[in-house]
Amino acid sequence: QKEVEQNSGPLSVPEGAIASLNCTYSDRVSQSFFWYRQYSGKSPELIMSIYSNGDKEDGRFTAQLNKASQYVSLLIRDSQPSDSATYLCAVKGSKTSYDKVIFGPGTSLSVIP
């Protein structure tokens, strides 16, 4: 089992819809969770971090964390063509000897005008 799993996509949604991106992780003691957005040929950019169970909202983005199910998701409301990118889920464990962050393979999102 891979440590951090995401559907590779591509996920296509119409403009204005809600895009839902999902991520599961295997390390049960993970404490910190991140979503990065990466445009084609560009570097990843941190868009959300979440550390406790529940929802965290920032503008059109909502991160949801369920540690019992080892599941983290990212919702993008009112999706725009500019949201078309690959979204990377990243998970940081707390019981390791160093600041180890594992990245998922990413989900490609395409927002259709």
Partner 1 sequence: DADVTQTPRNRITKTGKRIMLECSQTKGHDRMYWYRQDPGLGLRLIYYSFDVKDINKGEISDGYSVSRQAQAKFSLSLESAIPNQTALYFCATSDSGTGNYGYTFGSGTRLTVV
For partner 1, the binding residues (CB under 8 A) are: 32, 34, 36, 42-46, 49, 88, 90, 92, 98-101, 103-106
Give min distance, CB of 41 to partner 1, in A.
8
Region at 8 (left for phi over 0; alpha for psi -120 to 50; beta for the rest): alpha
Give min distance, CB of 54 to partner 1, in A.
18
Give min distance, CB of 55 to partner 1, in A.
18
- Nearest to partner 1 of 12, 39 (CB atom): 39
- Nearest to partner 1 of 82, 99 (CB atom): 99
Residue type, 95: K
- Nearest to partner 1 of 18, 46 (CB atom): 46
Strands 85-92 and 71-76: unpaired
Q: Position of tokens 């996509």?
A: 9
Question: From CA 40, how far away is CA 75, in angstroms rounded?
Answer: 20
Query: Helix or strand or coil: residue 44?
Result: coil
- Nearest to partner 1 of 28, 42 (CB atom): 42
Which phi and psi angles does 109 have, rounded to 5°? -110, 130
